[in-house]
Amino acid sequence: MKGLPMKVGQILSFMDGVVPPEYQGIYAELLSRLQVNAKPMAWEPMRELLEAELGRPVTELFASIETEPIAAASIGQVYSATLADGRAVAVKIQYPDIGKAVISDLRNAGSIAKTMQAVMPNVQIGVMIEDFLGRIGEECDYRREANNMTAFAARWASDPRVLIPAVHPQLSAERVLVTELMTGQRLDQVATTADAARRSAIGEVLFSFVFRSLLRHGMFNADPHPGNFLFPGDDRVVFLDFGCVQYFDEDSRRAFRRVIDAILAGSEGPQLWAVLAEALEFPDDTSAPLREIIETYVRYCFEPVLAPQPYRYTREYTTRLSQITLEAKLTVAKNLLRIGWREPKRHGLVLLSRILFGMNSLLASLEAEADWRTLLQQA
């Protein structure tokens, strides 16, 4: 299972509460394998693609390279290698022809979405589909990921807690990405071995990285599953995989600030909706029941900053968030023809919801405790 199906599986793997409690143990165990490793592809076809992309034999590119991957992801595998000067690097090679398969899957998904809109004109999902499919499609070009990594590294260079591997552009191409090799514990290891102080400190870094990247720099990495983080010690976090990144302009950043200010001020009902509608560009004909569903979801997403501080994340919180999300979807589905679905017209919000949910799940795994309200205000 590679490409788009595995990507969906990875997204599901860190979402607590999406299946009934009696099945969660089996579900979590199976899908957790997708977070870091999947069944690897043989070395020979990967070597051929590597040499075709970079135009030289492997023996000329690297002093040595391990032929067993250290990670197998949704569209590629990662190998450890050594450069001629002795530096250790990670070599990410795309599965042969996976780009064509993903593009085909995306086209099919887009066709299904268009058919749905034609059958149900009262349901508006064009912006959401365009954003999601567009970002997933961009992951097939490792040159874009290299640019994303460089951009994030430049903006976070002054924070010693945030580690982003340096890119080797001369050894990277559309389907090959070579970066500095960084090591560390996985999230599950930290969650089970680190003390409460370290887990909370790591949680603060993850929280600040998401909101400061969004509100100050106008970008965020929309792929927050646990396999994309390493923890080398103390509160330092290695951030990996920048293939799916959403960028926002200054107007969007100001709009998000207005929403957060309203939430922190305790706004709700018509007062909160007025801010949401203006900032996120909801249509005027959004029905009252749909408004109530959206308001409930948004406020609960920010429950950790609205609650008395310091607040400790728990799995019960993310399970309840999943339940609220599911209840909202069921309510919309049951009443779709009557209330319709009006999506916000500001681009990028479907992925913003994904990163918020993913971040909450990561912090719950760590049972992190902090003054999240102050951290958000400082972002």
Tally of domains within the chain:
2
> Strand order of the sheet with strand 236-239?
162-163, 236-239, 229-233
Distance of CA 346 to the CA centre of its chain: 19
Q: What is the largest CA-CA distance in the chain?
A: 66
Same domain, 87 and 102: no
User: How does pLDDT run across 35-70, given as a tens digit for each residue?
Assistant: 445 578 899 999 999 999 999 999 999 999 999 999
Distance of CA 337 to the CA centre of its chain: 31
Same domain, 147 and 275: yes
Same domain, 60 and 131: no
On the question of pLDDT at 114 being above 90, the answer is no
By residue range, what is the domain housing residue 195? 96-164+182-379
Tokens of 209: 């990285």
On the question of pLDDT at 115 being above 80, the answer is no
- Looking at residue 118, its pLDDT comes to 59
- Looking at residue 156, its pLDDT comes to 97
Mean pLDDT across the stretch 207-226?
90
139 to 54, 93, 136, 215, 234: CA distances (angstroms): 19, 12, 5, 23, 31
Query: In the Cβ-directed half-sphere of 144, how many Cα atoms lie within 13 Å?
Result: 14
| Residues with active-site annotation | 223
Q: Name the pLDDT band for 1 (thresholds 50, 70, 90).
A: very low
Same domain, 295 and 356: yes
CA-closest candidate to residue 180, choices 204, 205, 146, 214 = 146
- Fill in the DSSP letter of residue 166: P
Same domain, 215 and 234: yes
- Looking at residue 348, its pLDDT comes to 73
- Where does a domain end: 180, 204, 237? 180
Same domain, 283 and 174: no
Residue type, 34: L
- Summary mean pLDDT of the chain: 84
Same domain, 39 and 103: no
Lowest mean pLDDT of 23-37, 128-142, 242-256, name the range.
23-37
Same domain, 116 and 45: no
Burial letters 66-76, b for 16+ CB under 10 A, else e = eeebbbbbbbb
Same domain, 250 and 265: yes
Percent of the chain with pLDDT over 90: 54
- Looking at residue 15, its pLDDT comes to 45
Lowest mean pLDDT of 14-28, 80-94, 159-173, 226-240, name the range.
14-28
The sign one gets for the Cα dihedral 254, 258, 261, 263 is negative
